[in-house]
Homo-oligomer: A and B are copies of this chain.
Amino acid sequence: MSYHKPEAKTVQDLKDVAHKLRIHSINSTQASKSGHPTSCSSLAEIMSVLFFQQMRLNLKHPRDPSSDRLILSKGHAAPILYAAWAEAGLFPVSELNNLRKIDSDLEGHPTPRLNFIDVGTGSLGQGVAVGAGMAYVGKNLDNASYRTYVIVGDGESAEGSVWESLHFAAHYKLDNLCVIFDVNRLGQSEPTSLQHQMDVYRDRLEAFGFNALVVDGHDIDELCKALHCAESTKNKPTAIIAKTYKGKDFPEIEDLDNWHGKPLGDKAAGVIKHLQGLIVNQNVKMSPKKTCKTGQAPEVDINNIKLCTPPSYKLGDSIATRLAYGTALAKIGADNDRVIALDGDTKNSTYSDKLRNAYPERYIECFIAEQNLVGVAIGAACRRRTVAFVSTFATFFTRAYDQIRMGAISQTNVNFVGSHCGCSIGEDGPSQMGLEDIALFRTIPGSTVFYPSDAVSTERAVELAANTKGVCFIRTSRPNTAVIYNNDEIFTIGRGKVVRQKPSDEVLLIGGGITLYECLAAAEQLEKECITARVIDPFTVKPLDVDLILEHGKLCGGRIVVVEDHYQQGGLGEAVLSALAAHRNFVVKHLFVPTVPRSGPPAVLIDMFGISARNIVEAANSIMKK
């Protein structure tokens, strides 16, 4: 593919469009009285060339799976992204002045409430991971010709997540990915640490395996050439490192401090006049290239995914829920070839390797880099191309909390599976114990939090998660637990199970995972002490089966003991308390891990940290007087 320089007329038109985009960015931020016009201006030529020379887009269907993707990782430059789509004809330019208004989806940072946005950005340093996920799918699953572009700010390139993703992209030779660094030298509160040391950026990107091109980011010719080089370069991704100026072509503002995140105020009119003077053809109108007819992405159907065979266990079999997860993952993988798994070098602990063993092409090893792991999954699931399951130790999702949080804003459907929850993992000690994972995933808007206790319910949780919108989290345990459900038991999100009851029950015990079994053992013991206890398995912590808990809680005299292998805050216990908040006459004893645990045998730890059958018996006894 040899390079043909664009004609002089085209170059001039692209320059003119760039200035128009600048003017739109100023106007819209003037209208909203907030926003980042200077951060827009540095990438005006980049946007112009991407939209009107390089990318293949479908204006009738902005999420056409065969179109090129663009992620504006530096989401605060949203106004110029909106301006580019408006100039391209997707919606009227006049709408830009609704920026940041309460009834407009043109928000301060991009979200998929807009039909031309794949993921929310605005928390910095996350775009490359998402782009890498899209590119991985494009190259390896879709085998399609669409390309993925990511625009990264120089400030955000200090985020380690960016370097995780660059490494990932190079490792997997994602030559359909092009990362454009807008090196405008200035951060929010002071210059970036590298300022305009373009050679340092180049050295780093080359060392990370990229085809690294330093260009003048305001030179149309150089940008066109670099983008062509990116498209022609095989077996490695390209980084275009664009030297730019913040507030470019804004007189008395360009390249100066203290203009981050501020509309131009009373300087706006003068700057706009200056920019208009730079435009040669005031009526310039360009259109994006259309989506390729060749190399189209295949149609995929990710609806109604099923376990290819139902669970097949014997009651009383002893199987870790993490193992049942692996089994179920392979089963839904057999049912639908768009089920993929991603892991961070823990696949032989989480058992995601069961999918890899069956379908190696659908397993993505992300090595020990959880932020990128999550971001790649979010990218891979965009435009409904895949059903992604991400697994690692439950506690290591804390490493990617920000990515998961942004995943909710991105309306992602990624499924997260966290193994090794709680102090019941034993000797490895507290650094490896998930004791805040339920709290983390409960805070995610629209999330579903599964906490299956046996192998049958785990398999069904996996099947349900595959078909559920929004973030799903499945908490799995390290120790073996008994199978307590029949293989044909039906599970539903938001529906718990009463696993032990008698009409005379005086206290309700609620547990999940290993603590469900401690509840059952406690109930046995309590019965010897002439206290009969009912036991509930909530199955999902969010949504919680409020009606079931209210009904049976009342039947047990309003006495409830909740016990969980998790810290006090934000877990199952507080979920139960939230469910009961509007009702008087309940008394709840909450057993939880009260402090940082330590290394030791699981059974000893469970008892030492207050969540064993013995502790539950004590709690039930204490609550009987209330």
Interface residues of A (CB under 8 A from B): 32, 34-35, 75, 100-102, 104-105, 107-109, 111, 113, 120-125, 155-156, 158-165, 167, 171, 187-190, 192-193, 200, 203-204, 206-209, 343, 345-349, 353, 365, 367-372, 395-396, 398-399, 401-402, 405-406, 408-409, 426-432, 435-436, 439-440, 442-443, 445-446, 542, 558, 567-570, 573-575, 577-578, 580-590, 594-596, 598-601, 604-605, 608, 626
The answer to whether A582 and B626 touch (CB under 8 A), given A107-B598, A442-B569, is yes
A402 vs B344: C-alpha distance when bound (angstroms): 15
The answer to whether A123 and B574 touch (CB under 8 A), given A102-B600, A164-B159, is no
Contact present for A111 and B189 (CB under 8 Å): no
Contact present for B399 and A570 (CB under 8 Å): no
Q: For residue A594, which residues in chain B have a CB less than 8 angstroms away from its CB?
A: 445
Contact present for B439 and A369 (CB under 8 Å): no
Contact present for A445 and B596 (CB under 8 Å): yes
A211 CB to nearest B CB, Å: 15
A316 CB to nearest B CB, Å: 26
A26 vs B54: C-alpha distance when bound (angstroms): 59
Contact present for B431 and A368 (CB under 8 Å): no
Q: For residue A558, which residues in chain B have a CB less than 8 angstroms away from its CB?
A: 584
- A121 touches which of B399, B431, B445 (Cβ 8 Å): B431
A45 CB to nearest B CB, Å: 24
Q: Which residue of B lies closest to A155 (CB)?
A: B368
A574 vs B577: C-alpha distance when bound (angstroms): 7
A388 vs B109: C-alpha distance when bound (angstroms): 32
The answer to whether A102 and B431 touch (CB under 8 A), given A200-B207, A436-B443, is no
Contact present for A75 and B158 (CB under 8 Å): no
- A399 touches which of B35, B100, B402, B586 (Cβ 8 Å): B402
Contact present for A584 and B585 (CB under 8 Å): yes
A441 CB to nearest B CB, Å: 9
Q: For residue A349, which residues in chain B have a CB less than 8 angstroms away from its CB?
A: 188-189
Contact present for A108 and B429 (CB under 8 Å): yes
A199 CB to nearest B CB, Å: 10
> Would you list 16 pairs from A and B whose C-beta atoms are within 8 A, ordered by A residue?
A102-B605, A109-B428, A120-B431, A122-B430, A155-B368, A156-B368, A159-B369, A163-B164, A188-B349, A189-B353, A206-B207, A401-B440, A573-B578, A574-B578, A577-B577, A577-B581
Contact present for B155 and A595 (CB under 8 Å): no
- A569 touches which of B113, B122, B365, B570 (Cβ 8 Å): B570
A333 vs B146: C-alpha distance when bound (angstroms): 55
A348 vs B343: C-alpha distance when bound (angstroms): 38
Contact present for A345 and B155 (CB under 8 Å): yes
Contact present for B427 and A160 (CB under 8 Å): no
A148 vs B197: C-alpha distance when bound (angstroms): 28
Q: Which residue of B lies closest to A560 (CB)?
A: B581
Q: For residue A574, which residues in chain B have a CB less than 8 angstroms away from its CB?
A: 569-570, 574, 577-578
Q: Which residue of B lies closest to A586 (CB)?
A: B584
The answer to whether A75 and B193 touch (CB under 8 A), given A573-B578, A601-B102, is no
A82 CB to nearest B CB, Å: 12
- A372 touches which of B160, B353, B431, B584 (Cβ 8 Å): B160
A128 CB to nearest B CB, Å: 10
